[in-house]
Every structure is written in structure tokens, then in C-alpha cells.
Amino acid sequence: MRNEMNNKSKKALIAAGVVFLILLIDQLSKIWVKTNMHIGQSIPVFGDWFLIHFIENPGTMFGVLFGSQLLQSFFRIAFACIIAVFIVKLIKQNHKTGFIVCLSILLAGAIGNIIDNIFYGVIFEESTRSHVASFVPWGQGYASLFHGKVVDMFFFPIIRTTYPDWFPWIGGNEFVFFRYIFNIADSAITIGSFSLLIFYRRTLSYWFQSKKKREETENQNT
């Protein structure tokens, strides 16, 4: 019994540590960019194929926005709460550490962008193409609660070229791979999601079953 409790405590500490570490790196990187760069500014890291390029977006990962920003914020919060409750349940059941870690990475990513949405509008000046923002007293920022913008900065334009003129509709236009600009939180969401699909597909399918179906599966395995 004591060993089981120790295992559960270790898994809880690991999950909390993963979430804390990712959030710390995510927020420190965003705050540095927000207070040292103006919108559209780029800093080369490795030549022209890895840049720190500052943009902001009000939406979800990679700037894709569905519905109002307030609705998106509440959706993110609900999503994060569901995952957090699920992680607690898995820890109580002494589930596989790897599965818990993958979910914790996913949770950290969700929380990272939630923080931007909820708080950045009330604690920062607005960033523009000619002005670097700074902290302001609470409530004197560029937007109200839940209407802050997500800070993105990692840009990997590994290939820059143009479509051939004979391409229909897009001939002569610029082609960039990889054109998306993202942050640590976006990366955590992607890594957590793909890790779950690659390494824990069976576990996921088990949890998506109905309670009756899970009980039947458990009975078959015992």
C-alpha cells in the first residue's frame, strides 16, 4: 500500500513538474518577446530558416479562429479543466506514467495560451509595428479580461520560393514552408497530441469507450 501511495505521489509530482516547466518557459519567452520586440520584427537564429518573428493572434493554435474570442477562451478553459480532472483520475488509478506525462504536456500547452487570452490584455500595452510594449498597471492595458492576444514567435521558413507561373490561380505567388508561426504552448499541444496518438492509441480508444464497454474489456483481461 505504501509503495502504491509513493508511486501515485511521484506521478503527481512529475505531472505538476511537467506543467510548471513548460508554462515557465512559455511565459518567459512570450514576455521577453512582448517587451523587447515590435510587431513584425525578426531576429535570425540560424540563418534565414529559423527566426524569432513576433506576431500576435486572437485565436487558437496557429491563428485559426472559430467563433468569438470570448467563446474560444471559455472553450480552452473547459478543455483544460477536463484534461486536468482526467490526469488526477489517472494518478489516483496509478496509471502509466508516460500517458500521464503526455496529457500533462497537452495541458500545459492549453494553459499557456489561456494565460495570454485572459491576462495579457490587461497587463500589457499594445504592441505595434513601431512600438515595443511594456507592463502597465492592472486594467490599463490594450484590452479587457479574456480579450488578450496570443504571442507567437517561432518561424521556420525552411523553403522560400515561388509557384511556377503555370500553376492555376497561385502561379507566381510566394511559397513558404513552414509558414506557420507558433509558440512553446502550441508546440506542447502538438507534441502532446501526437505522442498520445503514436504511443497510446489503444489507451485512448479504451477511455473513449462507454463505461459498460470498459468494464467488459477489464473483465476480459482479468
Distance CA 173, CA 157 (A): 15
Distance CA 43, CA 40 (A): 10
Helices (H), the chain: 2-36, 69-92, 97-115, 121-123, 184-199, 201-207, 211-221
DSSP β-bridge partners for residue 174: 162
165 is catalytic: no
Active-site hit among 48, 116, 165, 186: 186
Sign of the CA dihedral 22, 27, 153, 46?
negative
Distance CA 116, CA 150 (A): 5
116 is catalytic: no
Residues with active-site annotation: 152, 186
